[in-house]
Structure 1
């Protein structure tokens, strides 16, 4: 940490020495000051020293009230400190002083939104896009605003533009699928949720996406309640006509094994369903148990229970019942 701080000050000293050696003139002096403020502001943001940035740029604004850069960084640090109203005033001033700077317009819009000024928020996002049509944050947040206003097609168009820039954008991917759900476009919705899950297969949003997929009769992913935790995994599959777990399911099974090992007072229960083939269901249950024991250090056989059924599994999904002819379920019980 000391080394990083010292390196910054060395660079900063060299910068100001370079500026001092340049021919005198207001334009050159202004450029040097602006460049120095930008380097300093980015340093404080990147190192997370927001209090240091707040103190430094408060003084910068006092000395240079017409500096858009100083007001921009001061506004950013005020926003980090939770001073939304003053942050908006500073960021708005920065955007007004340099209206063609897309970042200033975007952050002024973000602060306006947090300050409860929805129309001003959207106006600033649009101003950012007028300056830079590929400004990813402005596209995404303007999409959020359109979604909140139920202007679904406009939001879809904005998210599509954002995804052209960053195909893995979690907010754009999730909200695109959510809008398609609200519009009742189920075929497209299913593809949208699967695309989201391909990029972001874990976390709270993944659990919600899985619920939406299951409601569409797609069980590519399942949520399993394991102790106090709900875990999302790809549905377990097998080599066709055999008991052996398919290689595509190995990662999910390793995750299940790790969770079971980390609950030493619990027993992992494995339930295998296969309509009209109880014998193969039995062998599959044993194969999963064997895989978990072979691939999970510290997990013992007595902590794994198996059950098998020659019938479909019945699931409650929302207000409806779903039947899966081939399925594997997991849960934990107390005691080992």
Structure 2
């Protein structure tokens, strides 16, 4: 079974990596609207909270805060003890139960993690985080259908939820439901088309022989964009095509150096491929005059199909438009003899 990435939950106040599991490396969401503390600051906070608890063992807020700090310090077992204490002292507190589940999950106790999130949902059936986190835990447990049910419920409430959209596609991948998987990746990309997760989603989609989105190497970046589609059997660019070209043109202008290659292939129709390449070149040069300087745009068309490997599967693409933006390395600075002497002083 192919190793795939799963988008995981925020589990600490620090941006830390997640452990590997049978599905591959988790990709950690960065904490939002939450103070980023150094380890020194966390240890100082932990010492303060420990004193508060010693003076007042029945303080649920102190136990909760201490548990959160311990999670950030990668001590999930100790965190569980204090978060559990907080939830016992204050029954039916959704935040306490939610973070207790996070602590169980980080410590690898998936059954108890799922129990905690289920308790949150008993109190608040429409709690988005609990639904998504429970779906993630089920996915790690290979309980695919329960996981899918959680993501579906979450997406009814929040259709653009990134974790639910991405991990739903992962579930379909594991269940080998290819038609549903294609649709799920496209829905994810319609809402989230930037970053490494988008690039991964495109790899999955292209592996399923759907090329409605493509990744392009533009300088040091991989840029995910809707594929150039053209009007049927023509070189006419669509409104969506123009939006994609505007993005590529802006990136090329901002880089200020290096050629932009436009490579087009159309099976059994080299004439149409050439016409399409020329149409793109003319549009970019009209909208971005700086690209005309030094003849930065180069066009070509394949005599053979584009052949690519997506997640280990070799695929032939019979109708493709690829952009490649090379970044010219900076020229070495030549120093005069007197400048060299100054640097040696």
Q: TM-score, normalised by structure 1?
A: 0.76
Q: CA separation of 1:197/1:334 partners in 2, compared to 1, >3 Å: closer, same or farther?
A: closer
The aligned counterpart of 1:23 is: none
Structure 2 distance, partners of 1:254, 1:246, is 12
Distance 2:255 2:161 in 1: 34
Unaligned segments of structure 1, at least 5 residues: 1-44
Structure 1 residue 105 displacement after superposition: 0.8
Which residue matches 1:319? Answer: 313
- Does residue 54 (structure 1) correspond to residue 45 (structure 2)? The answer is yes
Q: Secondary structure at the match of 1:212?
A: helix
The aligned residue for residue 164 of structure 1 is 156
1:91 aligns with 2:83: yes
Does structure 1 retain, via aligned residues, the 8 Å contact 2:207–2:313? Answer: no
User: Post-superposition shift, 1:58?
Assistant: 4.9
Q: Secondary structure at the match of 1:217?
A: coil
Once residues 57 and 100 of structure 2 are traced to their aligned partners in structure 1, the CA distance between those partners, rounded to angstroms, is: 17
Partners in 2 of 1:228 and 1:256 — Cα distance?
14
Give, in angstroms, the shift of residue 240 of structure 1.
4.2
Which structure dedicates a bigger proportion of its chain to helix? 1
Aligned equivalents of 2:190, 2:71: Cα separation in 1: 34
1:42 maps to what in 2? Answer: none
Q: What displacement does 1:236 show? A: 0.8
Is the 8 Å Cα contact of residues 252 and 260 (structure 2) preserved in structure 1?
yes
CA RMSD of aligned residues (A): 2.8
CA distance in 1, matches of 2:242, 2:137: 41
Q: Is the 8 A contact 1:278 1:311 kept in 2?
A: no
Distance 1:228 1:170 in 2: 25
Does structure 1 residue 236 correspond to structure 2 residue 223?
no
> TM-score, length-normalised on structure 2?
0.74
Q: Which residue of 2 aligns with 1:251?
A: 243
How far did residue 309 of structure 1 move? Answer: 4.7
Whole-angstrom distance in 2 between the partners of 1:80 and 1:320: 42
- Structure 1 residues 199 and 49, CA gap change in structure 2 (3 angstroms): closer
Q: Distance in 1 between matches of 2:233 and 2:208?
A: 27
Q: Of residues 140, 149, 166 in structure 2, which corresponds to 1:174?
A: 166
- 1:305 — aligned with what? 298
Tell which deviates more after alignment, 111-120 or 174-183: 111-120
Change (3 A) 1:46 1:78: farther
* Cα shift at 1:320: 3.3
Secondary structure of the residue aligned to 2:228 is: coil
Does structure 1 residue 155 correspond to structure 2 residue 142? no
Q: Which residue of 2 aligns with 1:134?
A: 126
Q: Give secondary structure in 2 for the equivalent of 1:163.
A: helix
Partner of 1:330: 323
- Distance 1:47-1:322 versus aligned 2 partners, 3 A rule: closer
